[in-house]
Structure 1
Amino acid sequence: MTGRVGGLVLAAGAGRRFGSPKALAMLDGELLVERSVRLVARGGCTPVFVVLGAHAAEVARAANLPKAQVVPAPDWAEGMGASLRRGLGAVAGTSLDAVVITLVDQPLIGAQAVRRLITAHASGAAAAVATYNGQPRNPVLLRRETWTEVCAHARGDMGARAWLRANPDRVVMVACDDTGRPDDIDTPADLARLSAARGR
């Protein structure tokens, strides 16, 4: 199966544990939200949508996102589920056949992981999930036929995970151990450790 695949970056959270929006955190001289957009674009996704919620205006002003379409999530405080619903609602109005979803606080995900998920889609996968050490993480690809069902499951801080767990027969696991790392940045200490490790 072939078709257009877009990118969807979830970056709506307030970053309470981080102390500020993680979208505006800097790594290697680049804002995390800019890095995420570049990642999915380099992986072969076009167009790219970015869901913004907390401090949306500040993030939109500060970030250089010429290749991204911003999707507002005024109900961002509900959790990731609201952001995902807003994002999928936006892409549903396009001619895209599938979308690759990534999180703004996982900056070491590699573009090759995105490409592998797109390859799985081309082979007929309704959903594809990157795995590391055998564990499902991000990014995740969802074909159009799944979006309505995924939105119905996305509540509170639960994104696509509930639907993926409920439909294992429709999900292809794609090993991405050699493409990057799924490290989460939750606190400034996490970012400092990651930055220090990359500086070695």
Structure 2
Amino acid sequence: MPTAVILLAAGSSSRLGKPKQLLQYQGQTLLRRAAETAVAAAAGAPVVVVTGALHEELLPELVGSPVLAVRCLNWAQGMGASLKTGLFALESACTTWASVIVMLCDQPYVTPVLLDQLEASYIRTGQPIVAAEYGAVRGVPVLFGAEVLPLLHELPNEAGAAQLLRQHPQLVATVPFPEGAIDVDTPEQYAELLRSEALPINRQ
């Protein structure tokens, strides 16, 4: 059974001062890069992109991509609201899927290979939740099996997926992803990302 993907892109980027979804990295916006990663990993399963603070502004970045863009009207309440909006859209679609990966658009080192590793670990371990692990953090991207989707529906609007990982550690398997610690929330972090882009190791 395929794995669907929910890509959360609803925030206002208040700490950054401009939409992080539209920042350029390696010739693409972060949103387009994340959407293409999600589509490649989903391999025909549905991909839902959840917008919020911006919607019309982000749609041009999704043109030609086989994703469903939905707007979370109460995005400002928190990540849980956006996640549940995406989950409702998936469950309303006339498609079949057995698990869902939740990912963000501001982790530029997420790849289809990593998302495939989450799915492989889910199958291999039988654990209903598989999270990326960086340092002492278990977080996104994270896969949820169908058996734990009721927990997502019960998630408070102001909480994120990390709350479920803390509340139910016995249900969680992990996949190492040291680069998961690199995201883009501030101008300094974006500048550091661009500096790293120029390094030879990132030209491959």
**Same fold at TM > 0.5:** yes
**Aligned in 2, Cα 1:181/1:153: closer, same or farther, shift over 3 Å?**
closer
Structure 1 residue 26: Cα displacement: 1.2
1:32 matched to 2:30: yes
SS at structure 1 position matched to 2:34: helix
1:142 matched to 2:144: yes
SS at structure 2 position matched to 1:95: coil
Residues 5 and 97, structure 1, Cα contact 8 Å, conserved in 2 = yes
Gaps of 5+ in 1: none
In structure 2, how many angstroms separate the alpha carbons of the residues matched to 1:69 and 1:35?
Answer: 16
In structure 2, how many angstroms separate the alpha carbons of the residues matched to 1:153 and 1:63?
Answer: 28
Gaps of 5+ in 2: 200-204
In structure 2, how many angstroms separate the alpha carbons of the residues matched to 1:120 and 1:129?
Answer: 10
Equivalent residue number for residue 116 of structure 2: 115
Equivalenced residue count is 195
**Aligned in 2, Cα 1:55/1:135: closer, same or farther, shift over 3 Å?**
closer
1:83 matched to 2:85: no
Equivalent residue number for residue 202 of structure 2: none
Please list, as runs of the form range in 1=range in 2, the aligned pairs for 1:118-133 lying within 5 A after superposition.
Answer: 118-123=119-124, 124-133=126-135
Letter in 1 for 2:29: L
Cα RMSD after superposing both structures: 1.7
Equivalent residue number for residue 50 of structure 2: 51
Runs ≥4 in structure 1, deviation > 3 angstroms? 62-65
Equivalent residue number for residue 103 of structure 1: 104
Equivalent residue number for residue 7 of structure 1: 5
Structure 1 residue 133: Cα displacement: 3.4
Taking every aligned residue pair, what percent have the same amino acid on both sides?
A: 30
SS at structure 1 position matched to 2:181: coil
In structure 2, how many angstroms separate the alpha carbons of the residues matched to 1:137 and 1:53?
Answer: 21
Structure 1 residue 111: Cα displacement: 2.2
Letter in 2 for 1:154: P
TM-score w.r.t. the length of structure 2 is 0.87
Equivalent residue number for residue 167 of structure 2: 166
Equivalent residue number for residue 189 of structure 2: 190
Structure 1 residue 65: Cα displacement: 5.0
Equivalent residue number for residue 66 of structure 1: 65
Residues 46 and 90, structure 2, Cα contact 8 Å, conserved in 1 = no
1:91-144 Cα shifts (integer Å, max 9, x gaps):
223421111111111111232211111102223221100112353132100012
